[in-house]
Amino acid sequence: MGPAEAIRPVVEGDVVRTDGTSVLGGDDKAGVVAILEAVRVLRERRIPHGNLEVVLTISEEYGLLGAKNFDTGRLRAKRGLVLDVDGVCELITRAPAANRLTFAVHGLAAHAGICPEQGMSAIRIASEAIAAMKLGRLDAETTANLGIIQGGLAGNSVPASVTVRGETRSLSLEKLEAQTAHMRRCFDEAAARYRVRVGDRQYQARVEAQVDRQYGRLDIRDEAAIVRLVQSAAGAMGRACATRGTGGGSDANVFVERGLEVANLACGMREIHTVNEWVDVRDLVLTAGLLVETVRLNAAA
């Protein structure tokens, strides 16, 4: 049983966590709760709110698939908020673009005990490529990771193929393309070093690379109307709402790419994607209140 299958919430005062065997799912239950509570309060208190559009997307974790497949032409609104980031009373206005990378390494199979010299190990080729590669935190704007390796058939067979999957992301499109080219080059150069002759045939190792833009960059100016609106709402509540960047993508990346003015509002989730995840109900109340005040100010404008 995985850490997301049987969730057992534990309430300790104002804090909700689990018994330590599973995630809480505050990502993104916290955002959904804040949205629904804000709508309920607006209706109960009959607060003027103008026209509201609420979009709940699916498959965000698998690559923002719900947002990508949503027809934004159905929306009348031209600006809005996504609630999908840790912290509270903060606006994410800068987030990276990301490339998803797949490298299929092709060597040559051979018996590992009888004639290993007649084979080319795809595992070894991939290993040399990875060893030469810059990965992890590259600078303040750029990261890269290889997360999956699949290949090989048996311990006594020189592996003919290996697939390596990963990503790179950056707040700078130039750095994103440079890192993508670097990762491709590492694989190409490793494969170029391997060739073998078997009988009268010559074999050359090769790599097939596939690069897909997972999502575009989020870049909202501090002077943008949505930022000013949320900060004014926070000020009316006696709070400050700073803007900041993050290394993660969200539906906001997709909506901004479609021409909407959308920022990502922190909604109280903490230590997400771990069994230590927790949410403070007071943060949920604050976030819902900030949404209510934001909508009220927008209607009054």
pLDDT in tens, 42-94: 999 999 998 999 999 999 988 889 999 999 999 999 999 999 999 999 999 99
Which CATH code, of 3.90.1720.10, 3.40.50.300, 3.40.50.2300, 3.40.630.10, is assigned to 9-96+217-300?
3.40.630.10
Task: Read off the tokens for 275.
Answer: 């069994």
Query: Do the domains 97-215 and 9-96+217-300 match in fold?
Result: no
Residue ranges per structural domain of the chain: 9-96+217-300, 97-215
The DSSP 8-state label assigned to residue 102 in this structure reads: E
In Å, how far from its chain's centre is CA 90? 18
> In sequence order, what are the beta bridge partners of 165?
102, 148
The hierarchical CATH code for the domain 97-215 is: 3.30.70.360
Q: Which pTM does this prediction carry?
A: 0.86
Report yes or no: 119 and 155 within 8 Å, Cβ to Cβ: no
Report yes or no: 83 and 34 within 8 Å, Cβ to Cβ: yes
For residue 297, how many other CB atoms are within 10 A of its CB?
16
pLDDT in tens, 14-36: 999 999 999 999 998 999 999 99
Flag the least confident range among 1-5, 10-14, 183-187: 1-5
Task: Read off the tokens for 256.
Answer: 């901004």
> What's the number of CA atoms in the CB half-sphere (13 Å) around residue 262?
27
